């Protein structure tokens, strides 16, 4: 059967490793299934029978993506791991057939390995449940309880603000996280300007219907390019400068670009921008 | 490739559902892998290329099992989920090539979904790690921390006893759990005698090298048979008497036998034995 099919695993959406383009083929073909196989980039795919995975905002570059294939028998899976107000303006209510989410990027609890899906077709939802039952019986109960508590704390913050008409947003997770991300992007752009040999994607802005203001996006990853001609392998060049990144080659791009995590600890992020600014 | 292959999933050994014989074929063949297929009962298997799963003590009947196939190219996986002193005398140090364990049956933390494996062949161990990395990136960190804490508390209890030469065993998990299980088996046998229409497997005893005494086994499940001729479907008959069990048919046996959990709460277990004793 000529199709791409990517399975939903225990308590996680298809985020993280699956964003590394180089990891798709081994993951999809690992068990040599007769039901599905890796069929490559959707942009070059020819056929009607497929599952297309759409990561939006995209990892690594934070851009908003839509399905490129259109077929009645094909299916789309929308990975919305990064569709939260701290990373991007929430410009619309999405209503795709299959939408995946995770606490990993929403609240930062990646290790808890809990995700959820919104699925329109009951039959598809039942198949997803059946797969999880077959492969694991059920997700870790400790993790489920912890994730429920974490998400409850986030919504409690917003409900409290509504109930008390409080003006501050100190306890509002998405507001806090957006300030944090905006601050980091500001620091990164200053470091890039200080160095002079790098470039970043242009800032993208939009009206966020969640926070009711116009904001720029602050992706969880920076897609950093080197403009210096003699640097051919940027990942190696940065490693020599004590900065660990992931090469663009791992995402189907060239080796003059790398992906940098914007969500490390304050301390590590501070060291990183200082080192980057000093590179000439 | 003519073989049985059962995969090790996130943080759990092949316990629980995999003990239900009826679940093996759908689990093994779920993804129609070209690498392996379900090949049926090891006792009737003909070939050299296989993976045999040996559950010992066996679920449902608590008996000690050994691999039945012998071939240089075949591999055995020993599921030792129930090989703990509360269920069975630990009669020997096992040293099989691949041995699986779980906190589920060891300490009762089934929902934490953490298991571990002892593997002799480094290459096999690396393949198992690779599989977990491919399928899940990694096991829930909360669960790992909790399991480490739980197992630490158990070993601390025994180390404290050794260090202080304390006589009591109130804080020793396996001693506590064995007393609990022995008490429950005693209550179950009394209920079976009071009813008069059921039978249980004979008690098996052995010298336990862990607790240094001769004890009977106290399986986590009771394999209850009905001797009354007019009861054909024991699971249905017991359900009419407000007792929920699993039919022998789910384990490859007949429907005059059922599996009963011996590890429910005190309250539920108490209600169960009272109801069972009253059945005539």
Whether residue B163 is contained in a domain is answered as no
Whichever domain contains B227, its CATH number is 3.90.1150.10
Indicate if A115 and A205 belong to the same structural domain: no
Residue A77 within any structural domain of the chain: yes
Considering only CB atoms, B136 lies closest to which of A10, A30, A134, namely: A10
Most B CBs within 10 A among A137, A139, A144, hence the mutation to make, goes to A137
Q: Are A71 and A42 in contact (CB under 8 A)?
A: no
Residue A52, min C-alpha distance to chain B (Å): 19
What distance in Å separates the CA atoms of residue A192 and residue B245, rounded to the nearest whole number? 66
Residues A61 and A123 in one domain: yes
- Say if residue A107 is in the same domain as residue A196: no
**Residue A120 confidence (pLDDT):** 96
Q: Residue A255 in contact with residue A225, Cβ under 8 Å?
A: no
Over the stretch A84-122, which tens digit does the pLDDT of each residue have?
A: 999 999 999 999 999 999 999 999 999 999 999 999 999
Residues A136 and A187 in one domain: no
Closest approach of A117 to chain B, Cα-based (Å): 17
User: Does residue A56 lie within any of the structural domains?
Assistant: yes
Strands B115-119 and A115-119: what pairing?
A: unpaired
Q: Helical H runs in chain A?
A: 24-29, 103-106, 122-136, 141-164, 173-195, 234-240, 266-278
**Mutation choice for B interface testing from A18, A136, A139 by most B CBs within 10 A:** A136
Does A82 lie in the same domain as A24?
yes
End residue of a domain, out of B119, B140, B161? B140
Residue B161 within any structural domain of the chain: no
| pLDDT: which is higher, B99 or B165 | B99
pLDDT higher at A219 or B29: A219
Query: Omega into A48 within 30° of 0, i.e. cis?
Result: no
Q: Encode pLDDT of B183-224 as tens digits.
A: 999 999 999 999 999 999 998 999 999 999 999 999 999 999
- Chain A residues close to B28, C-beta within 8 Å: none
The closest alpha carbon to B224, from B267, B188, B252, belongs to B188
Instruction: Report CA-CA distances (Å) from B130 to A218, A261, B133, B138.
Output: 33, 24, 5, 10
Do residue A26 and residue B134 have CB atoms under 8 angstroms apart?
yes
Task: Evaluate whether A140 touches B143 at the Cβ level (below 8 Å).
Answer: yes
Q: What is the ipTM of this complex?
A: 0.81
Residue B237 CA to residue B231 CA, distance in Å, equals 7
Mean pLDDT of B233-244: 98
Instruction: Report the share of chain B in percent with pLDDT over 70.
Output: 91
In terms of domains, do B197 and B112 share one? no
Shared-domain flag, residues B30 and B120 = yes
Residues B33 and B129 in one domain: yes
Q: What span, in angstroms and rounded, lies between the C-alpha atoms of A236 and A137?
A: 43
Q: Do A190 and A274 belong together in one domain?
A: yes
Q: How many CB atoms sit inside 10 A of residue A254's CB?
A: 13
Task: For residue B207, give how far its alpha carbon lies from the nearest alpha carbon of chain A (Å).
Answer: 35
Task: Name the stretches of chain A with pLDDT < 70.
Answer: 1-22, 166-167
Nearest 5°: CA angle at A194, between A190 and A195?
120
Residues A40 and A101 in one domain: yes
Of A97, A118, A140, the position where a domain reaches its end is: A140
**Are B101 and B203 in the same domain?**
no
Closest CA to B255 of B243, B242, B240, B245: B245
Q: Looking at the domain assignment, is residue A187 inside a domain? A: yes
Q: How far is CA A137 from the centre of its chain?
A: 27
Stated length of chain B: 280
Give the separation between CA B84 and CA B192, rounded to whole angstroms: 26
CATH of the domain at A20: 3.40.640.10
Q: Does residue B113 form part of some domain? A: yes
Residue B209: predicted pLDDT: 95
pLDDT at B254 over 90: yes
The Cα–Cα gap between A85 and A210 comes to 7
Residue-wise pLDDT tens digits, B65-97: 999 999 888 999 999 999 999 999 999 999 999
CA distance A55 to A57: 6
Number of domains in chain B: 2
Residues of B with CB under 8 A from a CB of A: 9-12, 16-17, 26-27, 30-35, 111-113, 131, 134-143, 146
- C-alpha span between B135 and A26 (Å, rounded): 10
Helices (H), B38-97: none
Flag if B27 and A134 touch (Cβ within 8 Å).
yes
- Domain containing B191 equals 173-278
Residues on A contacting B at a C-beta cutoff of 8 Å? 9-12, 16-17, 26-27, 30-35, 111-113, 131, 134-143, 146
- Token representation of residue A82: 């990064």
Residue B92 located in a structural domain = yes
Q: Quick one: A253 and A191 in the same domain?
A: yes
Token code pair at residue A200: 């970043």
Distance CA B33, CA B24 (A): 14
- The residue written with tokens 């957006």 in the block is A178
- Chain B residues inside the 8 Å CB shell of A141: 111-113
**What is the crossing angle of helices B266-278 and B173-195, to 10°?**
20
Confidence (pLDDT) at B12: 29
Q: How many CB atoms lie within 10 A of CB A45?
A: 18
Q: Which of A122, A140, A158 is the last residue of a domain?
A: A140
Of residues B25, B31, B122, the one with CA closest to residue A27: B31
Q: Between β-strands B221-226 and B205-208, what pairing exists: parallel, antiparallel or unpaired? A: unpaired
Record the tokens describing residue B266, joined without a space.
């005190």
Check residue A167 and give its pLDDT. Answer: 65
Q: Contact A34/B30, CB-based, under 8 Å? A: no
Q: Which of A11, A30, A135 faces B134 most closely, judged by CB atoms?
A: A30
pLDDT surpassing 90 at residue B23: no
Whose tokens are 């088996």? That residue is: B185
Strands A51-55 and A75-79: parallel
Q: What percent of chain B has pLDDT over 90?
A: 66
Min Cα–Cα distance to chain B from A141, Å: 5
pLDDT given for residue B16 in this prediction: 36
Is A156 part of any domain?
A: no
């Amino acid at each position: 059967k000529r199709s791409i099919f990517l399975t939903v695993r225990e308590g996680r959406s298809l985020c993280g490793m699956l964003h590394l383009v180089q990891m798709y083929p081994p993951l999809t073909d690992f068990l040599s299934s007769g039901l599905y196989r890796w069929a490559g980039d959707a942009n070059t795919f020819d056929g009607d029978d497929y599952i297309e995975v759409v990561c939006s905002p995209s990892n690594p570059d934070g851009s908003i993506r839509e399905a490129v294939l259109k077929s009645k028998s094909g299916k789309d899976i929308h990975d919305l791991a990064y569709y939260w107000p701290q990373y991007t303006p929430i410009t619309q209510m999405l209503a795709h057939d299959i939408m995946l989410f995770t606490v990993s990027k929403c609240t930062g609890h990646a290790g808890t390995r809990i995700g959820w899906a919104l699925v329109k077709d009951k039959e598809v939802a039942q198949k997803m449940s059946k797969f999880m039952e077959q492969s694991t019986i059920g997700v870790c109960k400790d993790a489920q309880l912890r994730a429920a508590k974490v998400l409850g704390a986030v919504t409690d913050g917003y409900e409290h603000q509504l109930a008390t008409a409080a003006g501050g947003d100190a306890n509002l997770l998405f507001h806090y996280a957006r300030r944090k991300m905006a601050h980091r992007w500001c620091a990164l752009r200053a470091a890039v300007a200080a160095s002079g040999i790098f470039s970043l994607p242009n800032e993208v802005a939009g009206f966020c219907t969640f926070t009711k203001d116009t904001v720029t996006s602050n992706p969880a990853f920076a897609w950093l390019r080197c403009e210096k001609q003699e640097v051919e392998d940027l990942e190696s060049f940065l490693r020599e400068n004590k900065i660990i990144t992931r090469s663009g080659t791992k995402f189907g791009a060239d080796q003059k670009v790398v992906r940098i995590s914007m969500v490390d600890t304050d301390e590590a992020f501070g060291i990183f921008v200082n080192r980057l600014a000093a590179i000439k």
